[in-house]
């Protein structure tokens, strides 16, 4: 089927319901229309599956470079496996009407959500952007830059199980329109929608990197929470404002927005590329404290486990609420472990040495007490020698009455050396000799030499 326009070549016409494309895709109906093409619902006749069929407008096909970019981006998106990216199943640019086959989604995009519900609760909006960051991270890892992230390209699918799931649409496919609304893609040469474009993308769309997509998601988050983008108006006004003006604080558009989230969005919308978030993981880590608990846990598990730059760690430490801090909990744990490992080992060594010393002293003491003869403790001379310090006369009398061994003990127990001389001159009396077993200490030796084991 063809159509003829004045002054133009004969162009093929878009299919109607019931037409079969590529010998296997039967068109069911139109799902949506855009500047570059139309999305149809189709039925895969061979495998009995419903799919989405995206086709370029006939006149767009004639634009230079369109077919090449259409096929290249379709194949690049086909490499992505993230559940947060709409799957590409097939592509064909060799026919009169090039098409891309994608999974058919049930739900609505965030542009429709904003139109119906207005601004969203902060945790809900953060959850949606976090899911988009997980998806776009895989694309960036393969060198794919979306360049047109906006609410209309973030689809809230009901196919994600218990909770709706964000899926990114339209990789690298810009829209053409002559409207002056800055929310729409303005021209074929401008890949993206001006309201969501970064300053460097507006200056030179060819010289951008993944940080342009992070800017766009920052604008999306601002709009989801406040109900309006940070820069609005005509294409000319929006472009001038983005390049020249600093983005307003989120709290200026929504009073209950925490200042910590203000800081996160201010960094996402930083004109200086070196001060902006450098990758999707860094942006996601900064948003975790503001997400719902379930989403935060799921996203945290997918983040690359590398330390964030010092500047971002400082910002998170300063602005993260105390109630929920999964990302910093692991960071603090790793830093604490590294810094305290050496002191803990030293403390354990000293405790072990103290225990060994105490055990050795206790064992020696018990051994020496066990080897003392029973008769040594029964001798009356020993206690007399311990207290015999009242006078020199008394000491001499006790020394004369005691055997030589006992006298020697008395001399050791007496602090004055003059008292030991009469004891040494006294004659021995064999009838009371009771020589202790060699090696046995005097009765008072153990208490005098004992140490407090707690001081080791």
Are 296 and 286 in contact, with CB atoms under 8 Å apart? Answer: no
Asked about 148 being catalytic, the answer comes back as yes
The catalytically annotated residue of 90, 109, 112, 148 is 148
Selection from 13, 27, 6, 108 nearest residue 56 by Cα: 13
CA 388 – CA 399 distance, rounded (Å): 10
Left, alpha or beta for 322 (phi > 0: left; psi -120 to 50: alpha)? alpha
* CA 103 from centroid of its chain's CA atoms: 32
CA 268 – CA 218 distance, rounded (Å): 5
Selection from 241, 96, 240 nearest residue 230 by Cα: 241
Task: Tell me, letter by letter, the H, E, C secondary structure of the chain.
Answer: CEECCCCCCCEECCCCCCCEECCCEEEEEEEEECCCEEEEEEEECCCCEEEEEEEECCCHHHCCCHHHHHHHHHHHHHCCCCCCECCEEEEECCCCCCEEEEECCCEEEHHHHHHHHCCCCHHHHHHHHHHHHHHHHHHHHCCCCCCCCCHHHEEEECCCCCCCEEEECCCCCCCCCCCCECCCCCCCCCCCCHHHCCHHHHHCCCCCCCHHHHHHHHHHHHHHHHCCCCCCCEHHHHHHHHHHCCCCCHHHHCCCCCHHHHHHHHHHCCCCCCCCCCCHHHHHHHHHHHCCHHHHHHHHHHCCCCCCCHHHHHHHHHHCCCCCCHHHHHHHHHHHHHHHHHHHHHHHHHHHHHHHHHHHHHHHHHHHHHHCCHHHHHCCHHHHHHHCCCCHHHHHHHHHHCCHHHHHHHHHHCCCHHHHHHHHHCCCCHHHCCCCCCCCCCCCHHHHHCCCHHHC
- Residue 33: beta bridge partners? 38
Neighbouring residues of 24: CB distance < 8 A, sequence distance ≥ 6: 44, 45, 46
Q: Give the active site residues.
A: 148
């Amino acid at each position: 089927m063809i159509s003829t326009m004045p002054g133009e070549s004969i162009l093929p016409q878009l299919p109607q319901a019931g037409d079969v494309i590529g010998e296997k895709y039967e068109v069911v109906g139109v799902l949506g229309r855009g500047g570059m093409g139309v999305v149809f619902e189709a039925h895969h006749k061979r495998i009995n599956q419903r799919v989405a069929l995206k086709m370029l407008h006939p006149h767009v096909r004639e634009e230079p470079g369109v077919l090449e970019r259409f096929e290249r981006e379709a194949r690049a998106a086909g490499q992505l496996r993230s559940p947060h990216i709409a799957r590409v199943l097939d592509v064909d640019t060799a026919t009169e009407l090039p098409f891309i086959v994608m999974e058919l989604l049930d739900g609505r995009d965030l542009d429709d959500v904003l139109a119906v519900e207005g601004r969203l609760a902060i945790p809900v909006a953060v959850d949606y952007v976090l899911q988009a960051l997980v998806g776009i991270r895989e694309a960036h890892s393969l060198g794919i830059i979306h360049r047109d992230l906006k609410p209309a390209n973030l689809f809230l699918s009901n196919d994600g199980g218990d909770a709706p799931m964000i899926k990114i649409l339209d990789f690298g496919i810009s829209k053409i329109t002559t409207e002056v609304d800055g929310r729409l893609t303005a021209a074929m040469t401008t890949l993206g929608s001006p309201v969501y474009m970064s300053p460097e993308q507006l200056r030179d769309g060819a010289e951008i990197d993944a940080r342009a997509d992070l800017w766009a998601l920052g604008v999306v988050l601002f709009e989801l929470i406040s109900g309006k983008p940070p820069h609005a108006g005509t294409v000319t006004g929006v472009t001038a404002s983005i390049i020249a003006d600093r983005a307003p604080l989120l709290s200026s558009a929504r009073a209950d927005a925490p200042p910590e989230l203000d800081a996160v969005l201010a960094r996402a919308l930083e004109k200086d590329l070196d001060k902006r978030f450098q990758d999707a993981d860094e942006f996601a880590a900064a948003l975790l404290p503001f997400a719902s608990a379930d989403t935060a846990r799921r996203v945290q598990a997918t983040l690359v486990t590398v330390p964030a730059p010092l500047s971002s760690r400082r910002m998170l430490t300063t602005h993260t609420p105390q109630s929920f801090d999964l990302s910093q909990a692991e960071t603090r744990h790793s830093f604490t472990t590294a810094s305290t490992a050496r002191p803990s080992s030293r403390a354990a060594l000293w405790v072990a040495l103290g225990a060994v010393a105490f055990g050795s002293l206790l064992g020696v003491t018990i051994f020496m007490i066990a080897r003392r003869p029973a008769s040594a403790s029964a001798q009356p001379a020993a206690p007399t020698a311990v207290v015999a310090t009242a006078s020199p006369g008394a000491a001499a009398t006790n020394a004369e009455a005691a055997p030589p061994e006992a006298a020697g003990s008395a001399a050791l127990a007496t602090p004055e050396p003059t008292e030991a001389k009469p004891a040494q001159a006294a004659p021995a009396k064999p009838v009371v000799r009771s020589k202790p077993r060699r090696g046995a200490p005097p009765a008072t030796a153990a208490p005098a030499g004992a140490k407090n084991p707690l001081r080791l």
